[in-house]
Amino acid sequence: MPSSHTVRARARERNSVLSRPEFLSLNQPLRSGGGPPESRGGARRPGPIKHQTSQPSEEPVEPSKLPEEDCMLLNPSFKGIAKNSLLAIDICLSKRMGVCAYTYSSCGGCRSMVSLMSFTGHGITWIIGTLLCLTRSNTLAGQEVLVNLLLALIVDVLTVAGVQRLVKRRGPWEMMPSLLDCVAMDLYSFPAAHASRAAMVSKFLLSHLVLAVPLRILLVLWAVLVGMSRVLLGKHHLTDMVCGFALGLLHFSLMETVWLSSSTCQTIISIGTFSWSPFF
């Protein structure tokens, strides 16, 4: 004869909410087979929810690092602030001065004239012109000056192309380089190749040619206009032009240091024209 206490416990168990069929899975232990428990009627009931506990790994996981452009420096240095400010001013002024960048720009009607001025400082133009003058020259002094000028032009083109490849700075406006620019390897913005060449050529001619004062003034004005034309066309920044002028003067000083004598120039001309006879 069961006791009254046992009868009351069984009654509470039958009346309990957890004894209903939909809550049977909560009272049953987990099975090793992984299959869902079945009720007495044969219908499958939803199995217990298994919580996967992540075990600690042996090596600590490093947090993912954000790229530099997504990071914000909360305490930048004074040097960084000054550099970024100067670059922002340079880009802003260069964009405002690019009035002939496109035909629909504010001074787009003058684009052809400014492009012609820029063409007078192109490296291919000066190299071909120097070679033509060298074939026409009959004096030793003239050939000496022209050979050194040709070497200075080649050094200028190669040096500027190397620095541009190293820095890879784009111009203020997104423009594709022209065919002549690709031939002269003038693909990037810094430094301005036309400004470097104009400064070097003008200084070279002023030093080795006897010119009247008006011609000397026009030569300096031509160099400045060639450098400015590239900024007006939207090809270069202002700092590109200034650094181009400085690099051109550096090329002139270098050529003055390694100036080739007249005999060396005659040997180079003989080799270039295939008329060199070293044994006779």
- The token pair at 139 is 């004096």
Report helix, strand or coil for 44. strand
Considering 51, 122, 194, 251, which one is annotated as catalytic? 194
**Spatial CB neighbours of 223, under 8 Å, sequence gap ≥ 6:** 121, 195, 198, 199, 201, 202, 245
Kindly report the CA angle at 36 between 31 and 38, in degrees rounded to 5? 105
- Does residue 265 contact residue 143 with C-beta atoms inside 8 Å? yes
- Does residue 233 contact residue 178 with C-beta atoms inside 8 Å? no
Report helix, strand or coil for 1. coil
Report helix, strand or coil for 108. helix
Considering 122, 236, 237, 251, which one is annotated as catalytic? 236
236 catalytic? Reply is: yes
Amino acid at 49: I
237 catalytic? Reply is: no
- Does residue 241 contact residue 195 with C-beta atoms inside 8 Å? yes
- Does residue 260 contact residue 147 with C-beta atoms inside 8 Å? yes
Catalytic residue IDs? 194, 236
